[in-house]
Chains A and B, each alone.
Chain A
Amino acid sequence: MKLHPNHPVSPLSPLWISHFTATSAIGRGLAPTLDAMRQRKSGLAPCHFDTVDLATFVGEVPGVDDVRLPEELAEFDCRNNRLAQLGLVQDGFAQAVAAAAEKYGARRVGIFLGTSTSGILQTELAYRRRGPADGSLPADFHSATTHNTFSVADFARRLLGLQGPAVVVSSACSSSAKVFASAQRMIAAGLIDAAVVGGVDSLCLTTLYGFNSLGLMSAQACRPFDAARDGISIGEAAAFALLERVPEQLPGDAVLLLGVGESSDAHHMSSPHPDGLGARMAMEQALAASHLEAGDIDYINLHGTATPSNDVAESKAVAAVFGSGVPCSSTKGATGHTLGAAGALEAVICALALRNGLLPGGLNTQQIDAALPLDYLTDNRELPARRVLSNSFGFGGTNCALVFARAD
Chain B
Amino acid sequence: MPATITSAPLAAFVEGVGLLGPGLSNWTQGRQCLDGSLRYESARTVLPLPMALPSAERRRAGAVIKVSLAVGREAVDASGLQASELPSVFSSSSGDPLNCHEICSQLASGDRLISPTRFHNSVHNASSGYWSISSSAMASSSVLCARDGGFAAGLLEAMTQCAVAATPVLLVVYDAEYPEPLFRTRPVPDAMGIALVRAPQRSERSVARITLPGDRYLTTNAADTMKDPALESLRQTIPAARGLPLLQAIAKVQARLLSLGYLDDVQLAVEVAPC
CB neighbors of A among B90-121 (8 A): 93-95, 100, 103-105, 107-108, 112-116, 118-121
A165 at interface, CB cutoff 8 A: yes
Tell me if A206 and B157 are in contact (CB < 8 A).
no
Task: Given A171-B141, A214-B119, A397-B132, check contact A130 B108 (CB 8 Å).
Answer: yes
Binds A, one of B18-26, B81-89, B244-252: B81-89
When distances are taken between beta carbons in the complex, the residues of chain A under 8 Å from B68 are none
Whether A205 sits at the interface, judged by CB under 8 Å, is: yes
Interface string of B21-45 (1 = CB under 8 A from A): 0000000000000000000000000
Q: B84 contacts which chain A residues (CB < 8 A)?
A: 5
Interface segment, A137-145, A250-258, A320-328?
A137-145
What sequence of 0s and 1s flags, for each residue 91-132 of chain A, a beta carbon within 8 Å of any chain B beta carbon? 000000000000111011000000010001001101110100
Cα–Cα, bound, A328→B84 (Å): 32
The reply to whether B185 and A141 form a contact with Cβ atoms under 8 Å apart is yes
Contacts of A68 in B (CB 8 A): none
Taken residue by residue from 244 to 275, chain B's Cβ proximity to chain A (1 for < 8 Å, 0 otherwise) reads as 00000000000000000001011000000000
Tell me if B137 is interfacial: C-beta within 8 Å of chain A. Answer: yes
Q: A8 and B120 in contact (CB under 8 A), knowing A137-B181, A170-B143, A210-B114?
A: no
Q: Is B168 an interface residue (CB 8 A)?
A: yes
Task: Enumerate chain A residues within 8 angstroms of B166, measured Cβ to Cβ.
Answer: 8, 10
Decide if A281 touches B141 in the complex (CB within 8 Å): no
Cβ distance A70 to chain B, nearest Cβ, rounded Å: 17
Return chain B residues, CB-CB under 8 Å to A193: 2-5
Decide if A398 is an interface residue (CB 8 Å cutoff): yes
Interface centre among B57, B146, B266 (most CB of A within 10 A): B146
CB interface residues, A 134-191, toward B, < 8 Å: 134-137, 141-144, 147-151, 153-154, 163-172, 178, 181-182, 185-186, 188-191
Question: Number of residues in A with C-beta < 8 Å to the partner?
Answer: 83
Please determine whether A270 and B10 come into contact, CB atoms closer than 8 angstroms: no
**Nearest Cβ distance between residue A181 and chain B, in whole angstroms?**
8
Q: B residues within 8 A CB of A277? A: 138
B218 CB contacts on chain A under 8 angstroms: 107, 163-165
Tell me, in angstroms, the Cα distance from A277 to B140 when the chains sit together: 13
Interface: A90 (CB within 8 A): no
Once the chains bind, are B120 and A190 in contact (CB under 8 Å)? no
User: Least Cβ distance of A242 to chain B in Å?
Assistant: 14
Tell me the B residues contacting A by CB distance below 8 Å.
2-8, 10, 57, 81-82, 84-87, 93-95, 100, 103-105, 107-108, 112-116, 118-126, 128-130, 132-133, 135-147, 149, 153, 156-157, 159-161, 163-168, 180-182, 184-186, 199, 201, 203, 212, 214, 217-218, 263, 265-266
Q: Would you list 14 pairs from A and B whose C-beta atoms are within 8 A, ordered by A residue?
A: A1-B81, A2-B82, A3-B85, A127-B104, A163-B266, A182-B157, A185-B161, A186-B160, A193-B3, A211-B119, A265-B138, A266-B136, A269-B121, A281-B138
* Nearest 10 Cβ contacts at the A-B interface: A396-B129, A262-B140, A210-B119, A170-B124, A190-B7, A149-B145, A143-B185, A127-B108, A264-B132, A150-B147
A residues neighboring B (CB under 8 Å): 1-3, 5, 7-8, 10, 12, 53, 103-105, 107-108, 116, 120, 123-124, 126-128, 130, 134-137, 141-144, 147-151, 153-154, 163-172, 178, 181-182, 185-186, 188-191, 193, 205-206, 209-214, 245, 262-270, 277-278, 281, 394-398
